[in-house]
């Protein structure tokens, strides 16, 4: 009888995960799944057991979004085993708790400038990584995996061959981001940004230096709600927020961010309340 641990090993062996994704999934599995389901066979996990597990996670004080991530990972493992022919029969039902995971915080230009100044003093490398995200909206995992082959200097863009949505995306570069790319652009096989020990050692998490810069800048002072705390992903959110505030359409912003649907980008619609009224100005004057 296949246990969850064995199914997890099969999942890892047959899935292509980025180093960042692998580290995240492995950490979540060890902390929240393995400790609860150790030794449990897949066929013995029923819908009621999933509900008991959901209650267990909430009793641990986890947020609804974290509970959803744990349930989602368990469901992926079981679905993978089913597709590989390791598990037969109907899979249990997963009732996902509602969760508001949207981060509402974005940086004002003065806040971004202050953060970058502190970062420059702590680490020029992480200053440049942050500035690249702020000017392109790229995810941390996308920046960490950049290689020379992704860079098209003559066309002034970055070609991402495999994104979160498994789709190719072309990221245009403005002057600040192009200068950063040129600065680190080397051989095609080399990572643009890498850990100090080796040019082939990819970053898999955000440096403590970034979190230290946020702390020194006082951006999270007195803020308890995680949705309003500044993290590295706030830079991507800031990129989108600034564009929408300056009149760029949600469809264009959606394409730049690589969202699977413009519906995902609609979270920024409230930042441009006058866009609809301004659009009417383009209609011909007919009476």
What are 240-253's pLDDT values in tens digits?
889 988 888 888 88
Considering the domain 109-272, what is its CATH architecture? Orthogonal Bundle (1.10)
State the pLDDT confidence band at 101, using cuts at 50, 70 and 90. Answer: low
How much is the average pLDDT of 220-233? Answer: 87
- Residue 277: what pLDDT? 63
- Residue 164: what pLDDT? 65
How much is the average pLDDT of 253-265? Answer: 80
- Residue 167: what pLDDT? 73
Task: Give domain limits for the chain.
Answer: 4-83, 109-272
State the pLDDT confidence band at 112, using cuts at 50, 70 and 90. Answer: very high
The proportion of the chain whose per-residue pLDDT surpasses 90, expressed as a percent, equals: 57
Query: Angle 243-249-251 (CA atoms, 0-180°, nearest 5)?
Result: 110
Q: Collapsing DSSP states into helix, strand and coil, what is residue 189?
A: coil
State the pLDDT confidence band at 276, using cuts at 50, 70 and 90. Answer: low
Give the Cα separation of 162 and 11 in Å (integer).
20
With a cut of 80, say whether residue 163 has pLDDT above it.
no
């Amino acid at each position: 009888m296949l246990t969850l641990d064995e199914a997890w090993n099969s999942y890892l062996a047959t899935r292509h995960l980025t180093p960042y994704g692998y580290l995240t999934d492995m950490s979540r599995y060890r902390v929240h799944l393995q400790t609860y389901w150790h030794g449990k066979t897949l066929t013995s996990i029923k819908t009621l057991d999933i509900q008991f597990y959901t209650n267990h996670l909430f009793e641990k004080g986890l947020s609804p979004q974290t509970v959803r991530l744990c349930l989602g990972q368990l469901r992926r493992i079981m679905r993978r085993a089913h597709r590989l022919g390791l598990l037969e029969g109907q899979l249990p039902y997963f009732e996902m708790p509602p969760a508001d995971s949207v981060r509402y915080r974005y940086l004002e230009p003065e806040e971004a400038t202050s953060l970058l100044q502190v970062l420059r003093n702590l680490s020029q490398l992480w200053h440049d990584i942050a500035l690249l995200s702020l000017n392109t909206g790229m995810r941390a995992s996308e920046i960490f995996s950049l290689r020379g082959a992704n860079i098209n200097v003559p066309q002034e863009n970055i070609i991402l061959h495999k994104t979160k949505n498994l789709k190719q995306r072309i990221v245009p570069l403005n002057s600040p981001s192009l200068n950063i790319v040129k600065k680190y652009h080397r051989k095609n096989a080399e990572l643009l940004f890498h850990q100090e020990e080796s040019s082939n050692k990819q970053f898999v998490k955000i440096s403590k230096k970034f979190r230290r810069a946020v702390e020194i800048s006082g951006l999270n002072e007195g803020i308890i709600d995680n949705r309003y705390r500044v993290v590295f992903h706030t830079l991507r959110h800031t990129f989108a927020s600034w564009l929408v505030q300056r009149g760029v359409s949600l469809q264009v912003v959606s394409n730049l961010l690589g969202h699977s649907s413009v519906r995902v980008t609609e979270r920024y619609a409230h930042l441009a309340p006058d866009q609809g009224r301004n659009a009417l100005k383009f209609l011909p004057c007919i009476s």
